[in-house]
A and B are shown apart, each in its own frame.
Chain A
Amino acid sequence: EVQLLESGGGLVQPGGSLRLSCAASGFTFSSYAMGWVRQAPGKGLEWVSGISSSGGSTYYADSVKGRFTISKDNTLYLQMNGLRAEDTAIYYCAKGRGSSSYYFDCWGQGTLVTVSS
């Protein structure tokens, strides 16, 4: 069974940093693209970042470009710097269907990031 488990969320002050992790199991992690999608409280889904199966290609939403960095080894990460109040959201880790397909066939339960003083 495919499982994704996010961790690393929490309360952080504006301007601070957090690193989210996503532990994957039940599939060959190195063969699939992965992504992060967030959802602010009571709002819709916002695609944040994606990474190809090899890690060689990375993609970002304009709203996080230059502040967030996606990476992977045996785990998926999202390094978030310069956090702002508008980054407050549940962050979901999601598995792509193929090595470079960015529609998501499996999602984690999410981890909550709150940016507040």
Chain B
Amino acid sequence: KNEVEQSPQNLTAQEGEFITINCSYSVGISALHWLQQHPGGGIVSLFMLSSGKKKHGRLIATINIQEKHSSLHITASHPRDSAVYICAVRSRSGAESRGGSQGNLIFGKGTKLSVKP
């Protein structure tokens, strides 16, 4: 079982729809990241959160530490939101801490979102 699981793998929506992408993880974490990867491949960091909720424009990210679950919501979706959305967690455990003392980033496989006009 992967340490970070995302669902769904693929998502097609009509413009204007409310979208939710889910991320569940099985390790203790110090932070969770939501990333956006466009077709060209470059990755942009959308959110980094360790508790509660963050909002930026039409994007909202929430995290429930007890349930080890995070969601990324997109309100009023638009075709330009089409991308792969990646959840990544920074583990707290020393045994898993490759990548520096703050721990390695463990990535989900991504959710491919297509928003149709």
| A and B form one complex | no
